Amino acid sequence: MRKTLYIISLSTLVFSCTSKKNIKKNTYRPKTTVTQPKTVTNSTSQEKIKPQITKESGVEFFTTNIADITKNDNTASYGSIVSAKPAGYKVVKTHFPAIAQNFRQKYLILHYTVLPDDKSVTVLTQQGVSAHYLVNNLGDNEIYQLVDENKRSYHAGVSAWRADKNLNDTSIGIEIVNMGYTADATGAKTFQPFSDDQVKKVAALAKDIVTRYNIPATNVLAHSDIAPTRKQDPGPQFPWKKLYDEYQIGMWYDEAAKQSLLTSAQTDVSTRYNESPFIFLVQTALQKFGYEVFPNGKWDDATKKTIEALQYHFRPQNYNGIMDAETWAILQALNQKYPTK
């Protein structure tokens, strides 16, 4: 009897323990760790916004922009990526490129050589002056590149436009083979024309450059614009309006705006021409547009040459350096259309 009771008690204990285990098993709810799909999302995002650097013969390139082009920012490289090689360390491009960057190339400056083709090549490659490109006058389809666009060429010299100075640092220069001008005994200048072939080459080249570097219209300039007291190139024979009309390159005033300003400009010129406040007003308008001129209320030589430079570019029919009514209306129309930001 005692043995029977022992067996029954043992069976009850086993059953009780088994039941408790089953209850715990059925009611247990393991903790779940909520993980954000961070790695997957970021990886996909990174792949989308940061394309791979390409390599050719061991040289790295990155030609895709991921920055904000509306702010003139651009991460694209139009040459090989130049990197440091510090001794004992490895430079990696795990986080390349940062979006906060833009091009060095802010300006496009046009020149003429005052030399024939062969001498232009020699001087621009063997002496202390250069340009990124040289447009010959041989009637062929070639444009000579003389300097890497990522490097400074020595084409602008002492120069200024709006808030910028020393434009070699921030520009690409195009030289055009042209003999410049001859002057008569009175100092009147007669400029040589450019061939149609040259104009087409310059237009195609300029279009490519301003598009790639997002160069604004206000920064496509003549050498005479950025150095008016010492330079005349490319002169009044260069067809700026043709580039504007047919290729959407550079600046030009609105004819309607000029006409609306012409009557008041005629009054200004006929009644106030030699008054210091009017001269100061003209000088200030030239300065506002971009020319480096220092208002002093006098028709000095620097002011006359600056007016001449304006006329070379925007009023080539008459480039005598005198602020007549049409030139004054044109200058005001330009300032309306292209205000300083």
CA distances from 97 to 64, 111, 149 (A): 10, 35, 20
Which residues have CB under 8 Å from 240's CB, separation 6+?
A: 222, 250, 251, 252, 313, 314, 316
**Class of residue 191 by CB neighbours under 10 A (exposed 0-12, middle 13-18, buried 19+):** buried
Q: Is 108 within 8 Å of 209 (Cβ atoms)?
A: yes
What whole-number distance in Å separates Cα of residue 236 and Cα of residue 219?
Answer: 18
Q: Point out the catalytic residue in the list 149, 175, 255, 292.
A: 175
DSSP-assigned letters across all residues of 83-133:
----TT-----TT---SS---S--EEEEEE-SS-HHHHHHHHHHSS---SE
Q: Active-site residue 326, yes or no?
A: no
Catalytic residues: 175
